[in-house]
Amino acid sequence: MKKGSSGQNGARGGRAGTRQGFRSRDDKPARKASPTKPRSGKTADKTRSEAPLGERPIAKAPARPSAEAPRRPTRAAAKAAAQETLATGVQTLVVEPDEADMRVDRFLVARFPQLAFTHIQRIVRKGELRVDGKRAQPNDRLEAGQKVRIPPLKLDQPKLVARSAVRDQSDRDFLKSITLYEDKDVLIINKPMGLAVQGGSGTTRHVDQLLESMRDDEGQRPRLVHRLDKDTAGCLVIAKTRFAASTMAKSFRSRTTRKIYWALVAGVPRVRQGRVSTYLAKEGDEGDARMRVAKHGDEGASHALTYYAVVETAAQKLAWMSLKPVTGRTHQLRAHAAHIGHPIVGDPKYFDIENWELPGGIQNKLHLLARRIVIAHPRTGKPIDVTAPLPPHMQQSFNLLGFDTSRYDPIVDAPED
């Protein structure tokens, strides 16, 4: 595993700490007891009660269980089996201790893996889901013991197509080919540009779907801990157990996880090293939403903080920047780069410089890489330090511009506050 380089010219500030189809049961109608051929003692109580008194079969005494009788299912197996069926009425679920600090939408994914993620988002967005009687947002965090009211789940959702062993093996092989780090609790992949992390309108292949191929014998699957934009390449952390998901989610939430991004931006910032602190709010429809710089107190506005440093420049035309987000808002780095007048090259949403010409040989693709991540291991607490290589289009651009990626990254030791 390649780690970030270090050197002499560190940035000012303190040292950074180390810082987630239902299968219809196809229930067959109960077979009515025959008055001429009474059934054995295994006849369901419901069947017996529906038969006329004179025609009820006489139940035999239950046989003493033999040594070969099947054991009662384990709690985990029973829970997994319960997930096979979707409830059709209102139900209330209690958040278990190992589900604490999970996002509301990820909680629903874990409890109802058969439902499409878009359907889950729609339930939350419409306010049909309540947590302790209050409306919840998809990114709200749950606490152990909270009661989550689930609305009737529509049975007209499309059934999941049975996964083939060949497809599962193909997906596992692909994930293995982009794996940067893996143990029994944690998986960190080098997400390619263009591969979405989660499903959405028109998205059929994404990381969350690929993780279906890694379900264990009890039906548990790896869980996403954070997200990257579809066109952002680089380090993506995935938890392989529920315990790891809960622990690492807290690490992201408490901002003890260190994240370093590389970007190629238009122009060269006058201040070579600094910080961008704004409030960001989402605007536009879900499919075409973007973040705008807002004022404190504006509806939906959240504080966003990014440290940056210019690593190298190309004739005042382009700059290689190292970015360190302290907060984790949607499109934060892309919106902040545009806000200081140096949007990221190839950004279709935030690049707003008129009459700007892309230098020859550089592809018009988003030049943003989640270069490095340092996160505490959920069990040992020791730091996992992973670095992702440049994606092909960024490597091509860096080669054309003569940028040396072996240089020291000055943002590594940037302050955290």
Q: Give residue 49's region: left, alpha or beta (phi > 0; psi -120 to 50).
A: alpha
Alpha helices in 185-241 (DSSP H): 207-210
User: 254 pLDDT band (50/70/90 cuts)?
Assistant: confident
- Confidence class of residue 268 from pLDDT cuts 50, 70 and 90? very high
Residues 372-382 pLDDT 10s: 999 999 999 99
pLDDT at 411: 65
Query: Which residue's structure tokens are 């994914």?
Result: 109
> Between the CA atoms of 138, 231, 260 and 171, what dihedral angle is there, to the nearest 10 degrees?
80
Return the closest-CA partner of residue 149 out of 123, 125, 127, 131: 131
Quickly state the pLDDT bin for 203 (edges 50, 70, 90): confident
User: Strands, DSSP E only, in 267-353?
Assistant: 273-283, 290-294, 302-314, 318-325
CATH of 180-417, one of 3.30.450.70, 3.30.2350.10, 3.40.50.150, 2.30.140.10: 3.30.2350.10
The domain 83-160 is classified under which CATH number: 3.10.290.10, 3.40.50.360, 3.50.50.60, 3.90.45.10? 3.10.290.10
CA distance 27 to 222: 30
φ, ψ of residue 197 to 5 degrees: the values are -80, -40
Asked if the model's pLDDT at residue 39 lies above 60, the reply is: no
SS3 per residue for 34-65 = CCCCCCCCCCCHHHHHHCCHHHCCCCCCCCCC
Domains of the chain by residue range: 83-160, 180-417
In 3D space, the residue among 3, 338, 395 whose CA is nearest the CA of residue 193 turns out to be 395
Report pLDDT digits (tens) over 58-86. 444 444 444 444 454 454 544 444 444 45
pTM: 0.66
Q: Is 229 a catalytic residue?
A: yes
pLDDT attached to residue 83: 46
Judge if 83-160 and 180-417 fold alike in CATH terms: no
Q: Which of 137-146, 160-169, 346-355 has the highest mean pLDDT?
A: 346-355
- CA diameter of the chain: 98
Catalytic residue, candidates 101, 185, 229, 347? 229
